[in-house]
Chains A and B, each alone.
Chain A
């Protein structure tokens, strides 16, 4: 079995109102010096495959087809 973590983040240049709101909330809690917060998503996957190369390819395909919207998001795959 292969475990993997997919991280999906907004592309540079795409506004992130939720990140902005979190940034504001951190400021109101007294955390100083937070220049920027960007919110993203994390997916933890468990695959039957035993072949890491194959798994990476399969996960990239999943990202392109469903897990990320590549119009606005980037993704990164990490095998754990």
Chain B
């Protein structure tokens, strides 16, 4: 699993950090930072919830390429 973030559209709502603090953190400017780029599968449900909750839809959860 890989997580992609479209940083140019991030508005710092912070919903991702609320539902998956292991994966996402807002910096002092309020920009989202990805803490783990290729997290383990256990975190998939949380990552996908963060992607769904993001008001700007800037988070994408991708499968590993074969």
Partners in one complex: no
Residues of chain A whose beta carbon lies under 8 Å from any beta carbon of chain B: none
Residues of chain B whose beta carbon lies under 8 Å from any beta carbon of chain A: none
